[in-house]
Amino acid sequence: MNLFFEKLTSPEIKAAAERNTLIILPVGQVEEHGPHLPIDCDCIIARETAVHLAQTIAADIPTLVLPTVWMAYSVQQVARWPGLITFREPETMIQVIYDLLASLIQNGFRKILIVNAHGNNPAILELACRKIGSDYEVFPAVTYALAMSKGVGAKVRQSAMGGCGGHAGEEETALLLHLAPETVHMDRATSEDIVQYQTRFFPGDIYSTIPDKVSGIYWSTWGVVPSKTGVYGDPTAATAATGKALFEEMIRTYVEFTHEYYRHVS
Ligand SMILES: [Zn+2]
């Protein structure tokens, strides 16, 4: 069964829309991920998650995966290390996503799941989707892939707290060791940038177990703790086995959510 949107013919797209097919849109970014991971790390995670999710649910839900949106918006702090390709303004990214979603709606699709893997994207994607909902009465879901691994993250992680800082730390490095090991240079990984600042307002680790954590605060990591190497966390602790456990949890969580989303959204 073909799962790739861009490989269909025009009449097949029409038939897919009539079947109320779910569209999965992977969104990444091209930016530095330390000295040990490729700059398309977020694209790899978004794409692999989207494809694996589609393969897992396709027997129950008609599904197509779009090509990955590989360019996004990043803050200039990242530009200190070569490799960044960014929109100058976040508004451009909002417009790109809005137009992409509006085109899908014009083609007759109403159920759209965004699989995002870049930390600067959630607020931008949410704004685009709020406007789409307001203009078209179509309500895409925005998801952050790393957040879907939280069910097992605290159990399978090998690093101390501050080692899974959300950017090229143990978590992303482990995922790439599992998904694309040929792109990872473990001999260049460094533990210089373990996130030392951790409070209940700034957990400093995506699998934080700090009790009474207060969610809903945005406070840029780049402003709270400077990074020496472009990493937040401890990639030296990463293994492919941890990456496999995180990825399987992500897919499990996505499958459950996708069934609920597809069933519930009109
Ligand atoms: Zn990343």
Report pLDDT digits (tens) over 170-180: 999 999 999 99
Distance 210 CA to ligand 1 centre (A): 23
Instruction: Count CB neighbours of 219 within 10 A.
Output: 8
Does the domain at residues 5-148+248-264 carry the CATH identifier 3.40.50.10310? yes
In the reported structure, the alpha carbon of residue 16 is separated from the centroid of ligand 1 by a whole-number distance in angstroms of 32
Whether this prediction's pTM lies above 0.85 is answered by yes
**Every domain of the chain and the residues it spans:** 5-148+248-264, 149-245
Nearest-5° Cα angle at 142, 45 to 149: 45
Kindly give the distance from the C-alpha atom of residue 61 to the centroid of ligand 1, in angstroms, as a whole number.
Answer: 29
Q: Ligand 1 centroid vs 168 CA: distance in angstroms?
A: 6
- Measure the CA–CA gap between 116 and 125, rounded to whole angstroms: 9
Residue 29 CA: distances (Å) to CA of 87, 121, 134: 10, 9, 27
pLDDT at 1: 79
What's the pLDDT band for 164 if we cut at 50, 70, 90? Answer: very high
Q: How far is the CA of 148 from the centre of ligand 1 (A)?
A: 14
Beta partners for residue 27, in sequence order:
69, 116
Cα(59) to centroid(ligand 1), Å: 31
Instruction: Indicate if the pLDDT at residue 121 is higher than 90.
Output: yes
C-alpha 151 to ligand 1 mean position (Å): 19
Query: Quick check: 129 pLDDT over 90?
Result: yes
Distance 58 CA to ligand 1 centre (A): 27
Determine the distance separating the centroid of ligand 1 and the alpha carbon of 86, expressed in angstroms. 14
169 alpha carbon – ligand 1 mean position (Å): 9
Instruction: Read off the pLDDT band of 208 (50, 70, 90).
Output: very high
pLDDT at position 266 over 80? no
Ligand 1 midpoint to CA 180 (Å): 14
> pLDDT band for position 264 (50/70/90)?
very high
